[in-house]
Structure 1
Amino acid sequence: MNVPTVALNGVPDPLPEGLAVLDVREQVEWDHGHIDGAVHVPLGELPQRLADVPDGQTLVVCKAGGRSAQVTGWLAAQGYDVVNLDGGMLDWEAAGRPMVSVGDAPPQVV
């Protein structure tokens, strides 16, 4: 299956209005650091939480791009307008893009 994919350098900074972000990592990964405003639906919960997937154009992220590629392919087959972030949150963090965390610790990708 051809999964729509974009490298980080193809993602505007800051993110444009109307572009949603879907983070499919596990809760502990999310808590340590995520994109502000992203929707969090862990990969394993996705089938039960399809209603939580944003409408419109959505950037799907995980740590490195593997899980998000699976999700992007599956959601695209369901008719969603989704694109996978190749390199995931590791590339996002390495580029110095802004992140937030849950709690007081500085955001980081784990």
Structure 2
Amino acid sequence: MSTQVNVRLDEDLLKEVDAITDVLHVSRSEWLRNKIAHAVKEETLNLREAIALEYAKGHISEETLNDLLGADAEDVKFIVKHLQEGKEKIDKKVEQGDL
């Protein structure tokens, strides 16, 4: 499924895009779609640690985590689960006066 998005571009930028698409023999839309997809993927890779932290804090859902990190989301979920279990054990020991 795809959704149409309208974007306003500066005329000079649009001229550059058109020049590139003419050289590559691709449509403006196709080129822009590919560039946006690449930029989103690269930004996601750059923000992996922040994404994992946001998930651990409960600020993003498991579904969003899966969407952003793909197969690596399982590693994050494993780590968060075991950190929570460890925290619960420590809290229990503190409560009992063992720590």
Of the two, which has the highest radius of gyration?
A: 2
Which structure shows the higher helix fraction? 2
Q: 1 or 2 for the larger relative contact order (CA 8 Å, sep ≥6)?
A: 1
TM norm structure 1: 0.24
Which structure shows the higher strand fraction? 1
TM norm structure 2: 0.26
